[in-house]
């Protein structure tokens, strides 16, 4: 209808899309985000530059898609199949234990050498570019954080967390310190640290006896 040049996504080459994803992730890991170029991705993927410009508006967008793809594939491996719902946070009744389990998983993810480079690149880009940052939060962070909110609301109903606590703030109390240490590399990020954060935070959230 409109005369804009909207490419026909039904004719899109899946082979190229995948090759671009792989090349982008590989390059970011190998040479860093700054030294990763569109030309480099195209060359490595055996693809024309125009094929990238046709489907993505920026280098960051390519990496974002590639990362989402990667995360999606990783999730499928964990869950039984593609149609599976996200695992969520277990609810064993022991809030501290449940949170430690998930926070330790997050620590492992952040320490995973395969994921570190692209995650840092996207986060950094989002810090400076508000638009991209919003997309990053919306597509990657929010779904994960929603799980915390669910578990914390359950804890509130079970009386393990005060009713006047805002779950969004509570989860920032858990995630914030982790991210702070990871982003700024002030000290190593360990399971022990995750546990301590949970212990301290729970103290602030639990009902005052």
Q: Is 12 in the site for DNA (CB under 7 A)?
A: yes
Residues 6+ apart with CB under 8 A from 99: 89, 151, 174, 198, 201, 202
**39 lies in the binding site for DNA (CB under 7 A):** yes
Q: What are phi and psi of 69, to 5 degrees?
A: -60, -50
Q: For the chain, what percentages of helix, strand and coil (3-state, to nearest 5) are there? A: 70, 0, 30
Binding mask 169-198 for a copy of itself (x = CB under 8 A): xx-xx-xxxxxxx-xxxxx-----x--xx-
200 to 96, 106, 170: CA distances (angstroms): 10, 18, 12
Stretch that binds DNA, among 30-38, 121-129, 171-179, 189-197 (CB under 7 A): 30-38
CB atoms within 10 A of CB 207: 11
Where in 42-101 is the site for DNA (CB under 7 A)? 42, 46-51, 53-55, 58-59
DSSP state for residue 3 in the 8-state scheme? -
8-16, 21-29, 107-115, 122-130 -> range binding DNA (CB under 7 A): 8-16
Task: By CB under 7 A, tell whether 38 contacts DNA.
Answer: yes
Instruction: Decide: is 7 part of the binding site for a copy of itself (CB under 8 A).
Output: no
Q: How far is the CB of 44 from DNA (least distance, A)?
A: 10
Task: Tell me how far, at minimum, the Cβ of 1 lies from DNA, in Å.
Answer: 13
């Amino acid at each position: 209808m409109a005369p804009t040049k909207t490419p026909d996504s039904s004719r899109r080459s899946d082979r190229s899309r995948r090759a671009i994803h792989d090349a982008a992730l590989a390059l970011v890991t190998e040479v860093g985000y700054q030294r990763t170029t569109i030309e480099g991705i195209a060359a490595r993927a055996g693809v024309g530059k125009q094929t990238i410009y046709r489907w993505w508006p920026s280098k960051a967008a390519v990496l974002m898609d590639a990362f989402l793809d990667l995360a999606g594939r990783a999730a499928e491996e964990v869950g039984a199949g593609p149609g599976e719902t996200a695992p969520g946070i277990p609810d064993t009744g022991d809030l501290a234990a449940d949170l430690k389990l998930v926070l330790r998983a997050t620590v492992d993810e952040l320490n995973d050498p395969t994921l570190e480079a692209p995650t840092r690149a996207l986060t950094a880009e989002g810090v400076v570019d508000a638009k991209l940052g919003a997309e990053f939060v919306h597509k990657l962070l929010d779904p994960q954080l929603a799980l915390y909110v669910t578990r914390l609301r359950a804890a509130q109903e079970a009386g393990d967390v005060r009713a006047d606590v805002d779950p969004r703030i509570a989860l920032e109390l858990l995630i914030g310190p982790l991210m702070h240490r990871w982003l700024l590399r002030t000290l190593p990020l360990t399971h022990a640290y995750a546990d301590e954060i949970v212990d301290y935070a729970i103290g602030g959230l639990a009902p005052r006896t």
